[in-house]
């Protein structure tokens, strides 16, 4: 599988995560931990799609900071939303393997979804540009 094809497949998974976030953002019956996990997964897969597009190998990791370091090392221009979502890293590991991690009580779920979506859309635009298509 080529790097561009792998990036496209990861972005399909990102779309699924964002669809789930859209539903969960409207229901506080869904725990903050589950919501945070899916937000983290969407960002992680977006960053891995970006790395794949750039032809950069990445380890099996959930560490958003580490993935960002790889992107920076590759010369990628990071948008503000990418950096601002690094705090989601614990939702992939701590929540699943070490117990509860809590989103700040004041967190606006809709705003978080918009930030996650902006990252995904940015990476999607890079993939479309690499494919020679626009829009």
Closest C-alpha to 48, from 95, 14, 92:
14
Residue pLDDT tens, the chain, 135 long: 459 999 999 999 999 999 999 999 988 788 888 888 999 999 999 999 999 999 999 999 899 999 999 999 999 988 888 889 998 888 887 666 666 566 566 678 999 999 999 999 999 999 999 877 544
pLDDT at 134: 43
Q: What is the pTM of this model?
A: 0.88
Whose tokens are 């589950």? That residue is 34
Q: Encoding tokens for residue 14?
A: 């990102």
**3 state SS of 27:** coil
pLDDT at 131: 77
pLDDT at 102: 60
pLDDT at 32: 81
Query: Looking at the domain that runs over 3-130, which CATH code has it been given?
Result: 1.20.120.330
Rounded CA separation 60/80 (Å): 24
């Amino acid at each position: 599988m080529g790097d561009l094809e792998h990036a496209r497949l990861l972005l399909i998974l990102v779309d699924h995560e964002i669809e789930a976030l859209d539903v969960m953002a409207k229901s506080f019956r869904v725990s903050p931990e589950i919501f945070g996990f899916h937000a983290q997964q969407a960002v992680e897969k977006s960053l891995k799609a970006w790395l794949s597009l750039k032809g950069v190998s990445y380890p099996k990791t959930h560490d958003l900071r580490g993935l960002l370091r790889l992107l920076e090392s590759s010369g990628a221009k990071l948008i503000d939303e990418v950096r601002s979502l690094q705090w989601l890293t614990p939702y992939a590991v701590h929540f699943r393997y070490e117990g509860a991690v809590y989103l700040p009580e004041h967190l606006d779920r809709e705003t978080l979804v918009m930030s996650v979506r902006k990252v995904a859309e940015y990476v999607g635009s890079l993939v479309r540009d690499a494919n020679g298509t626009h829009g």
